[in-house]
Amino acid sequence: MMLRALLLLALQGPLALSAIASGAAAAPCGAAPTGTLASSPAPRADERGQRVTESRMAALPVNPAETLLVGDSIFDFWRSAAADLGQPVTNFGVGGDRTENVLDRIDRADFPRDAFRRVVLLIGTNNLGRDDACAILGGIAAIVERLHRRLPRAEVVVVSILPRGPGLRRRLEDIEAVNQTLVRDQAAMRIRFVDAFTPFVQACAGQEKCGLLPDRLHPGPDGYRLLGASIAAALDGR
């Protein structure tokens, strides 16, 4: 019942119900920045990141599902994604990825022809602190453009950056600027935006450490159920 109530609130207006929102306006970035680290394809420099990336790349053509998950550790660690979303998925998430690493991976990927009906993207939290909101938006826009080019028949779904840190306040201004701009520009970007930020904020209001995000970044089992329900509800309402 709590999940349903939170989702009904969230669907009334993306990001409008954040209990801790600062009211920051969407970042006035203008045209998506180019040439930044966030929007320039780059492979992972660390051994573990390279190993996981190559493993995901090798598994990509094997029995692909209609829904492709693309992102960082929040997707990489989502072992219950198929159950939480109620549909088979191919998980293309790699822990630790920033936008530039996803760009590199998409450029090199051997995508099965016409395999994916939908791509769900969640990326950007690892760019926080190094990149400002406009640079992160430029990276996300570059990924979306690549996905439209590489998978022209697939719907591209972009999930909001989730809240993080003590009291879910860390880098809040940048997170809200990115999310609010994606809400505003989703038609121009040819994406469907999913607000998963608001349900987490509502459920965790007033808590310095929330059980839905036990390490203050990654969802726990209940958090993943909420994330899956947020995505599924938005897709069901199209």
Write the secondary structure of the chain as one string of H (helix), E (strand) and C (coil).
CHHHHHHHHHHCCCCCCCCCCCCCCCCCCCCCCCCCHHHCCCCCCCHHHHHHHHHHHHHCCCCCCCEEEEECHHHHCCCCHHHHHCCCEEEEECCCCCHHHHHHHHHHCCCCCCCCCEEEEECCHHHECCECHHHHHHHHHHHHHHHHHHCCCCEEEEECCCCCCHHHCCCHHHHHHHHHHHHHHHHHHCCEEECCHHHHHHHHCCCCCCCCCCCCCCCCHHHHHHHHHHHHHHHHCC
Q: Which candidate, 166, 165, 48, 32, places its Cα nearest to that of 99?
A: 32
**pLDDT at res. 114:** 81
**pLDDT at res. 182:** 96
User: Hey, which CATH number is domain 2-236, 1.10.150.120, 3.30.565.10, 3.30.70.20, 3.40.50.1110?
Assistant: 3.40.50.1110
> For every one of its 238 residues, what pLDDT tens digit does the chain have, with 9 covering 90 and above?
444 444 444 444 445 444 333 333 344 576 555 678 999 999 999 999 999 999 999 999 887 899 999 999 999 999 999 999 999 999 999 999 999 999 999 999 999 888 899 999 999 999 999 999 999 999 999 999 999 999 999 999 999 999 999 988 899 999 999 999 999 999 999 999 999 999 999 999 888 889 999 999 999 999 999 999 999 988 775 5
- Name the pTM for this structure: 0.87
144's tokens: 């979306």
* Domain extents in the chain: 2-236
